Chains A and B, each alone.
Chain A
């Protein structure tokens, strides 16, 4: 069971402060201040598909568009900015080897108030499709899946104290983790923003 695996993994790897500090990607940090979508399968929370897609469409037509630069984010991203999974995670590449993962606005809204984020262990080896954590909101625990394979380089520790960042800024301060990334073909099946919008509107 995926949760179990992720638990075992997080218990196994002692995420020491030392291992974490070796991964200071300070140069790129400001650029990817984006959140990580949690990949939970929360496609339609609680109301009709039509009503939901309306919500989603509104979410995206607002100024919350993930690709929009925030003040202070001056660096430019050189790769396709945000790609989405069917489970509503997003992945953005900081460079050819580092990916950032978060959960989409749609997922964050469908989940409701996030009260806890279970983060992966730094140093964990993950394979695309693995459960790397979970988000808890309104009594539901929803798994997060990684769209890419690699090593967990860093996790967003701010979520430990402030899980609500996932709701507030899922493409920014609510990012989940950075994963060292090797195989660009893994990105081929992911959706760009436009396709993802259509996916949440139609389910296809």
Chain B
């Protein structure tokens, strides 16, 4: 199948399903019990859901005394089509910015590490928050595999879909195709692991918006620090969202609590059901997540080169740091681009297009930055 959740990994270790068996013997928190709070979002807004996740993480109590029962939070949500990039990624390099605009697909920078992923209504996201001492990149991925194994799917009779965790901590199907990718955030005393789960996603859109081969993208080069995505072949698991959510919640309750009512709670939520103080906290984060300053302005320092022909020399090069143009190198006449005027401006089309008399270049800049 063509699509791809792409994920960002420096080392491309091929999927090896043997890994799962070994990891099961090694994972930390085996047998440890928690007070499990489950949050199920009925909102489909990526900005709301990511903001709520961030707020929940702030609220999550860091590890207290070793004798008390620690908390574990499980948040489940689904987003309308969007592209989510890692904290330290360059959207110009990792996504097809122009294609996103054409399709009206929002681009969101998350706070965890890793690579770019595509979400749509056929994908369910899970997030597990835990004391940092229990952080483990595989523990909860294995739990998700076990939950899916209990659901029927992909036309198999009775038995569930067999999934494995590979050496890159991704969940893969029996063909080694990625069905879920993970990212993590660690803070003092606490950590979260969140991941996607491709159940019935539109994989052809995924590949188009993450790596477009349009004429514009082949005429651009982005260089600089930051994390680059690793492309993986992807597949859908083929089970219904409701069945997935139910199976995951059930397994988490069995595995991570003592089974009593006191150690387990479920809350459904959306934009309208938040308490007033929660609403303030979440809205504040929505504003930040939607801001240009966060999405584009916090990109690691980079240079963006625009070519006139594939593999030709750059005609126009921008050096950008913290969203601001540090330098412009142009081989174009001032009748097309007035390069010097752009230095010190924010690197966004509406800020600099007044210095671009040429219709051709204005078009390219609007499409690309």
Which residue numbers of A lie inside 8 Å of B, CB to CB? 1-4, 7, 10-11, 14-15, 39-49, 51, 87, 113, 115-116, 118, 131, 134, 136-143, 145, 160-161, 163, 203
- The answer for the CA separation of A104 and B187 in the assembled complex, in Å, is 16
Give 7 CB contacts A-B under 8 Å.
Answer: A44-B134, A46-B27, A48-B28, A51-B26, A118-B88, A136-B88, A143-B186
- Among A4, A40, A138, A145, the one with the most B-chain Cβ atoms within 10 Å of its Cβ is A138
Which residue numbers of B lie inside 8 Å of A, CB to CB? 7-11, 26-28, 54, 58, 66, 86-88, 111-115, 132-138, 169, 182-191, 225-227, 285, 288, 293-294, 297-298, 300-301, 322-324
Q: In whole Å, how far is B227's beta carbon from the nearest beta carbon of chain A? A: 5
Report whether A139 and B28 are in contact in the complex, using a CB–CB cutoff of 8 Å.
no
Report whether A136 and B28 are in contact in the complex, using a CB–CB cutoff of 8 Å.
no
Chain A residues with CB under 8 Å of B187's CB are 2, 40-41, 131, 142-143
Report whether A44 and B133 are in contact in the complex, using a CB–CB cutoff of 8 Å.
yes
Report whether B189 and A140 are in contact in the complex, using a CB–CB cutoff of 8 Å.
no
- The answer for the CA separation of A35 and B138 in the assembled complex, in Å, is 29
Report whether A160 and B88 are in contact in the complex, using a CB–CB cutoff of 8 Å.
no
What residue in chain A is nearest B186 (Cβ atoms)?
Answer: A142
Known pairs A11-B297, A11-B322, A140-B185; A116 contacts B225 (CB<8 A): yes
Q: In whole Å, how far is B22's beta carbon from the nearest beta carbon of chain A? A: 11
Contacts across chains A and B counted by CB atoms under 8 Å: 132
- The answer for the CA separation of A1 and B57 in the assembled complex, in Å, is 9
Q: In whole Å, how far is B348's beta carbon from the nearest beta carbon of chain A? A: 14
Chain A residues with CB under 8 Å of B113's CB are 116, 136-141
Chain A residues with CB under 8 Å of B54's CB are 1
Report whether A140 and B112 are in contact in the complex, using a CB–CB cutoff of 8 Å.
yes
Report whether A1 and B58 are in contact in the complex, using a CB–CB cutoff of 8 Å.
yes
Report whether A160 and B225 are in contact in the complex, using a CB–CB cutoff of 8 Å.
yes
- The answer for the CA separation of A14 and B288 in the assembled complex, in Å, is 20
9 new A-B contacts, CB < 8 A, other than A11-B293, A43-B132, A44-B133, are: A14-B324, A115-B10, A116-B113, A139-B183, A140-B186, A141-B86, A141-B87, A142-B186, A143-B186
Q: In whole Å, how far is B116's beta carbon from the nearest beta carbon of chain A? A: 12
Chain A residues with CB under 8 Å of B293's CB are 11
- The answer for the CA separation of A50 and B345 in the assembled complex, in Å, is 53
Q: Which of B186, B300, B324 contacts A116 (CB 8 A)?
A: B300
Known pairs A47-B28, A137-B113, A139-B169; A41 contacts B298 (CB<8 A): no
- The answer for the CA separation of A40 and B191 in the assembled complex, in Å, is 10
- The answer for the CA separation of A10 and B285 in the assembled complex, in Å, is 18
Q: In whole Å, how far is A97's beta carbon from the nearest beta carbon of chain B? A: 26
Chain A residues with CB under 8 Å of B298's CB are 7, 11
Chain B residues with CB under 8 Å of A163's CB are 225
Q: In whole Å, how far is A72's beta carbon from the nearest beta carbon of chain B? A: 28
Chain A residues with CB under 8 Å of B183's CB are 139-141
Q: In whole Å, how far is A190's beta carbon from the nearest beta carbon of chain B? A: 15
Q: In whole Å, how far is B222's beta carbon from the nearest beta carbon of chain A? A: 15
Known pairs A45-B136, A115-B227, A118-B88; A139 contacts B188 (CB<8 A): no
Report whether B135 and A3 are in contact in the complex, using a CB–CB cutoff of 8 Å.
no
Report whether B28 and A141 are in contact in the complex, using a CB–CB cutoff of 8 Å.
no
- The answer for the CA separation of A143 and B185 in the assembled complex, in Å, is 8
- The answer for the CA separation of A137 and B111 in the assembled complex, in Å, is 13
Chain A residues with CB under 8 Å of B300's CB are 116, 160
- The answer for the CA separation of A11 and B288 in the assembled complex, in Å, is 13
- The answer for the CA separation of A70 and B225 in the assembled complex, in Å, is 29
Report whether B225 and A161 are in contact in the complex, using a CB–CB cutoff of 8 Å.
yes
Chain A residues with CB under 8 Å of B27's CB are 46-47
Known pairs A46-B137, A116-B88; A3 contacts B26 (CB<8 A): no
